[in-house]
Structure 1
Amino acid sequence: MSTAGEHAGQAALSICEALLLAMSDRGLLPEHEIVGILRDAAATHENAVGTELETEGHRAVADLINAIITGGKSFSRM
């Protein structure tokens, strides 16, 4: 069963993804800068420290962002 936090995370991802796609579509940011933003976000989570459970969560977030970069989500439009 999903929690409110999971729904908030999914909503945030959808909003950010839509904003990045809109910026790309309108020529406000080139693809390489959008990918750079995503890589920076992934690196933040890859380098996060904490408990084993926290680190596992950060790794999952980094993996999701990296999947977006490689075309696992709607950024394959770019």
Structure 2
Amino acid sequence: MPTLNDYQGMAALSICESLLLAMNDQKLLSQSAIVGILQDAANAHEHAAGLDSEPSAHLAVAALINGIISGGNSVRRP
């Protein structure tokens, strides 16, 4: 059963994706800048995993973000 933290994480992801899409639609950020933001976030978690005694959460977050980047989702429109 999902926990409150699961719901908070899903809400945060949805809000952030919506903000990135809106910034792209309003031409405040380019697609490449948005992908760069996502890459920076993934890299930060990959680095943090190396510093944490239990790296699995950081690695899971990095994998999720990398999946968003490579998945061709709505952030990466043609």
TM-score by length of structure 2 reads 0.89
**Cα pair 1:68 1:74 within 8 Å, conserved:** no
**Cα pair 1:45 1:59 within 8 Å, conserved:** yes
2: CA distance, partners of 1:73 / 1:32: 14
Match for 1:67: what amino acid? G
What are the equivalent positions in structure 2 for 1:13-52 lying under 5 Å apart? 13-48=13-48, 49-52=51-54
Gaps of 5+ in 1: none
Gaps of 5+ in 2: none
Q: CA RMSD in A?
A: 1.4
Residue 62 of structure 2 is matched in structure 1 by 62
Deviation of 1:51 after TM superposition, in Å, equals 1.5
Report percent identity of matched pairs.
57
**Cα pair 1:67 1:73 within 8 Å, conserved:** no
Residue 11 of structure 1 is matched in structure 2 by 11
Match for 1:50: what amino acid? D
Q: Which moved more, 1:2-11 or 1:67-76?
A: 67-76
